[in-house]
Structure formats: C-alpha cells, structure tokens
Amino acid sequence: MAVSEFDLIKDYFNKPGLTPTPEQYVRIPLGIGDDCAVLDLPPEKFLAVSMDTLVADVHFPTQADPNLIAQRALAVNLSDLAAMGAEPLAFTLALSLPKAEESWLQGFSLGLEQMIQTYHCPLIGGDITKGPLSITIQVHGLLDKGKLLTRKDAKPGDLVYVSGALGAAGLAISLMSNGMSLDKPDTKELQAAYYQPLPRITLGQSIVGLASAAIDISDGLMADLGHIAQQSSVGIELNAKAIPIALVVKKFMSTMGDKTKGLNLALTAGDEYELALTVAEDQQEEFLKTTAKLDVPLTLIGRVVKGSRVKCLDNDGHEIEIKTFGYRHF
C-alpha cells in the first residue's frame, strides 16, 4: 500500500519533540495541521527569516547518516539567525524524497529532534513530495526592533574577529570528495565539523549593539568578509599569523607537506558556520568583557581599512596570493 504525505507527516514529523511545546504556544498558536502556521509576534519585535536548500551529492552525500544530515540542515539555517543576533522561534521544512524509507525517516526525524531540543526552535509546517533528495528549511527568529547585526556598518579602524577554529569542515569536504569515509576514529572530529557545526546563537545575541557588522562563514572566511567589505564600502586586511586554524587541520596538512599548515583551507573553505565580525576600537573593551562570559573562542584576526578588497598579509606585510576566495554555487 502506498504511503501518503499525511501519513509521513503524522508518523515522523507531527509529534512531541519536534512540534511546539505548550510554553511556545504563546508565540506559535497554530503549527502543523492547517494550510498555514500562525506566528503571534510581539509589537516590539522584528521577524528575521532565512532559508537554505541542501541537495543530495551537492551539500551532503546521499548515503550519509540521515541523523547527521538533519543536524547539518537545521544548523546551517540557524547560523543565519546567529549572524543577525536573532532568537530562534520556529522553522518549516520542505522535503523531497525518492522513496519513503522508514529507517531513513526515523533517523532524519531524530536528528531534527536533537537540534530542536538544543536550540528551542520547533517545526511548525512544510511539505513532503516525491523527487530527488533535497531539504529546504526556512527559519524564523525574533529581534528587538532597531537592534540587529548587519553586514553594512563596518568602518575603517574597526577590528576583525572570528569565532572558533577554521578549516576542519573544508578538509572534511576535500576528503569526502576523494572517496574517504569520515566514519573512523581519526576522522570523527572532521565529521562533526561538517555535519554538526555549532550555530553561534548566544554569541550573536550577546554582541548586538557591540559589533558593527557580522556574517556567518558559509562560503569561506575571505569570501564572506568580502560581503561585509562590499556592503560597508570598506577594505579588510587580515593577519595570516593570527588566523585560528583547527588543530586537526594543522596536523593533517603538515603530514601532507603544507608548510602553512592549512592556512588556505582556513581562509577559503566554506561550511564553517562560525561568525566573522567587526568591532569599533572604542567598543573593544565592552565587547571582550561581554564575550568572556561565553564559552566561545574569539580571535582578533585583522582590521577594517579604507578600500574595497579583502587581503591576507604575511609577517612582512606582503599580500598572500589567494586564487579562489571561497565556495561558488555556479
């Protein structure tokens, strides 16, 4: 007997752990079950909305663990809310499946549930259809009116910071593209970096009013800083020595003979989902005081300057040649 879309929704998605809790009904009076979900927004709040599509064998391997696929799919969307300083509210899901496979759906549903429990962002609706495997998630978040992070307010003299350590997700992608499995003891850290990035929600909310600009690193550090540079009409200079390269990347690239120990990966590989941000010098003390309370490593990596380009400079102040700044969809 053929399984209907409504059976799939009932069995795998419209259930406690994924849908809003009674405490969340005040903001989400209507979720799954009608033609539309309904959000009740406080008058003093803005609604932040972002959407990403992940396509099998483009953004994740078809044969990957569905639990990990689900975690990655929601995390990359939540990261956009983090970059704006927004509080997660809810998300919708459009899922295209070649077939309704019970074990896959159970794993995928469980992965979503784990993320929802961590980030308190319930599923409120969506669509399931037959077709090539793809996942589209739209996230909704709340912002205090007039208080948000954007890409357009960086000024010359501002300091450039980045959260976390970089390059592990890029190395994971490189290894997977060469047919290597990451499901091994010595590559588990790379697997986690790719499938389970940490959306910096708390960091983003904490630095609203302190950071002058922010962006999440999805296409690569230099590429995404380029978006800040373009929208703020500034240049950015990075200090190569200060770039925080993940230890697992340094070790692996050293064995491969890379004297920079993975610098190019850290500068250009996408799928990091860390935050890159700028801070005015007169806000630095308060910024550091505020972020010191968070369990998030932050590194000062450069400065905003007059100009229009993003450059990475070596110890002698010479620009390092970077052929490809980051991931390109086309």
Are 178 and 304 part of one and the same domain? yes
Domain span including residue 84: 5-144
Query: Which of the four pLDDT bands, split at 50, 70 and 90, describes residue 292?
Result: very high
Residue 321's pLDDT band, with cuts at 50, 70 and 90, is confident
Q: Are 39 and 27 in contact (CB under 8 A)?
A: yes
| % of the chain with per-residue pLDDT over 70 | 98
Q: Is residue 174 part of a domain?
A: yes
The pLDDT of 39-51, averaged and rounded, is: 96
**Does residue 261 share a domain with residue 191?**
yes
Which of 89, 117, 144 represents a domain boundary (last residue)?
Answer: 144
What confidence category does residue 114 fall into, taking pLDDT thresholds of 50, 70 and 90?
A: very high
DSSP code for 295: S
Coarse DSSP helix, strand, coil percentages of the chain, rounded to the nearest 5 percent: 35, 25, 40
DSSP 213-262: EEEE-SS-HHHHHHHHHHHHT-EEEEEGGG--B-HHHHHHHHHTT-TTSS
The span from the CA of 269 to the CA of 255, in Å, is 19
Q: Do 173 and 216 sit in the same domain of this protein?
A: yes
Last residue of a domain, one of 144, 167, 188: 144
Q: Does residue 87 sit in the same domain as residue 178?
A: no
The pLDDT, as a whole number, for residue 287 is 98
Task: Tell me which of 289 and 255 has the higher pLDDT.
Answer: 289
Strand order in the sheet with 235-239: 211-216, 275-279, 159-163, 298-305, 235-239, 310-313
pLDDT in tens, 72-81: 999 999 999 9
Asked if residue 20 lies in contact with residue 120, where contact means CB atoms within 8 angstroms, the answer is no
SS3 190: helix
Residue 326 has a pLDDT of 62
Residue 28, in any domain of the structure: yes
In a domain, 318, yes or no: no
300 and 179 within one domain: yes
Query: What pLDDT, on a 0 to 100 scale, did the predictor assign at position 4?
Result: 77
Same domain for 132 and 216: no
Pick 186 or 113 by higher pLDDT: 113
Domain membership flag for residue 211: yes
Q: Are residues 168 and 302 in the same domain?
A: yes
| pLDDT(190) > 80 | yes
The answer to whether residue 217 scores a pLDDT higher than 80 is yes
Q: Confirm whether 149 is domain-assigned.
A: no
Q: Within a 10 A sphere around the Cβ of 197, how many other Cβ atoms? A: 24
Using alpha carbons only, what angle is made at residue 54 by residues 269 and 205, rounded to the nearest 5 degrees? 70
Which residues on adjacent β-strands are paired with residue 19? Answer: 16
250 and 135 in a common domain:
no
Q: What is the DSSP letter of 91?
A: E
Query: Which pairing describes strands 45-55 and 211-216: parallel, antiparallel, or unpaired?
Result: unpaired
Tell whether 183 and 293 lie within a shared domain. Answer: yes
Give the residue-averaged pLDDT of 102-114: 97
66 shares its domain with 111? yes
Judgement on whether residues 228 and 284 belong to the same structural domain of the protein: yes
What pLDDT does residue 73 have? Answer: 97
**Which pLDDT score is estimated for 186?**
78
pLDDT more than 90, % of the chain: 85
**For residue 21, pLDDT beyond 90:** yes
Q: Average pLDDT over the chain, rounded to whole?
A: 94
Give whole-number Cα distances, 183 to 54, 176, 190, in Å.
21, 11, 9
Same domain, 187 and 300: yes
Please report the beta strands in the chain, taking only residues with DSSP state E, as ranges in sequence order.
45-55, 87-97, 123-130, 134-144, 159-163, 211-216, 235-239, 275-279, 298-305, 310-313
In whole angstroms, what is the distance from residue 102 CA to residue 75 CA? 23
pLDDT band at 2 (very low <50, low <70, confident <90, very high): low
Q: 113 lies in a domain? A: yes
**Domain limit, last residue, from 144, 169, 193:** 144
Q: Is 277 within a domain?
A: yes
What total of structural domains would you count in the chain? Answer: 2
Residue 169 belongs to domain with CATH number: 3.90.650.10
Residue 152 lies in a domain: no
